[in-house]
Amino acid sequence: MASTTIKQRCEKCDKGAAIATCNGCQRSFCIKHFGEHRREISQQMDNIGQEHDLLRRDMNYERSAYPFLARIDQWEQETIRMVQASAQKARIDLQQLLDQTKNELKIAMNRVTEELRTCQESDNYTELDIKKWTEQLRELRQMIENPSNINIGCENDATSVIPLIKVSSLQRSMLYSNQERRNDTRISEQYAVLSSEKFAEIYGNITLSADGLTGYCSGNHLDGSYISGIGRYSSRIHRIRFRIENKVSNFLFFGIITASQNLTSEISKVKSAYGWWDLSYSVFSGHGECENYRKYINSGDEITLTLDCDNRLIQLQHHRTNTSVEIPIDLEHCPFPWKIVARLDSEHDCVKIVH
């Protein structure tokens, strides 16, 4: 029986006339299509050669650096804008602090001027007074030439690409001489009088303890419950310490009003009212100012309200956080004598004067 030879079929025309197999792709072709296949391979080789030549040419242009350089340029421009904005803000903040310093210097200088005039007219002064005035004038001169309450540094911001300049206040009032300061309270103990204050006048639903040291609220914030003290303050520095026995409300008010003002349901809004709804919400002449409101005062905390009549300002210190704030008093709005005032805003709020 004769054997039958099976011919390979061409990959192109599918006829059984394949005569050659490509060693590269292992496909079989007829004589016609084998030539075409070789020409295709040759064309691919030409294409590779052209791509090779283009790549060598493009390497000289360093095109791959373009997107990275663009990012660097963008960063440079953004950083320049950020630095310029920071510098402009620093200039504005500096001018505001300089203006504040200038106003404080005027107040301090007016106080010295008035004291000098009064003592000269009455011929009532000694060497000790002259020494004190000399020291005060020297300090005022230093404050004019080199304001020590201004600090220029860099922001401590880990997210910032570069440290940005920042102008800030050292929170040092220029109304005190160096002898009248302490680092923790900024008011000297030797000049401060620990007041024997007691609560007296009430408005709203407040009950006083028998000794007058504790005020307890039995109403709510709609009642406007206020309490004031027996003290009348016109000179020297006085400190009244409070303990927050219980705090239910969001807000407790501590401050002063002029002593002739009777308590009302909205006493914190009268023209002579100065103080704080917590430490970050200040009241000036009955108008509130809040910046970055934060609750400091909680049940069990102790705070000290300082009335510096000589320098016409009040200060509130929160002892647990060692935080203090102060407000200058406009005597046209809140004339002497002053009296303390507090608001207990919710039922079960309770405040005690600590001696």
pLDDT digits (tens, 9 = 90+) for 273-297: 999 998 888 999 999 887 666 788 9
Does residue 177 register a pLDDT over 50?
Answer: no
Reported as a pLDDT band with limits 50, 70 and 90, residue 11 is confident
pLDDT at position 189 is 46
Reported as a pLDDT band with limits 50, 70 and 90, residue 181 is very low
Q: Which of 80, 181, 177 is nearest to 134 (CA)?
A: 177
- Rounded-to-integer distance, Cα 340 and Cα 197, Å: 9
Q: What is the mean pLDDT of residues 146-151?
A: 68
First-last CA distance in the chain: 131
Q: What are phi and psi of 64, to 5 degrees?
A: -65, -20
Which helix (DSSP H) or strand (DSSP E) does residue 70 occupy? Answer: helix 66-122
Q: What are phi and psi of 73, to 5 degrees?
A: -60, -40
Q: State in words which class domain 192-354 has.
A: mainly beta
Share of the chain above pLDDT 90, in %: 28
pTM of the model: 0.49
* Alpha-carbon separation of residue 125 from 117, 129, 130 (angstroms): 11, 6, 7
Of the ranges 97-101, 115-119, 166-170, the best mean pLDDT one: 115-119
- Rounded-to-integer distance, Cα 316 and Cα 341, Å: 13
Token pair 């504790």 is at which residue?
214
- Size (the chain), residues: 355
Omega of the bond leading into 67 within 30 degrees of 0 (cis): no
- Rounded-to-integer distance, Cα 153 and Cα 86, Å: 12
- Rounded-to-integer distance, Cα 353 and Cα 212, Å: 9
Omega of the bond leading into 335 within 30 degrees of 0 (cis): no
Q: What is the mean pLDDT of residues 288-307?
A: 87
The 10 Å CB-count burial string (b at 16+, else e) for 238-277 is bbbbbbbeebebebbbbbbbbbebebeeebbebebbbbbb
For residue 191, how far is the Cα from the chain centroid?
A: 32
Per the prediction, the chain carries an average pLDDT of: 82
pLDDT at position 38 is 87
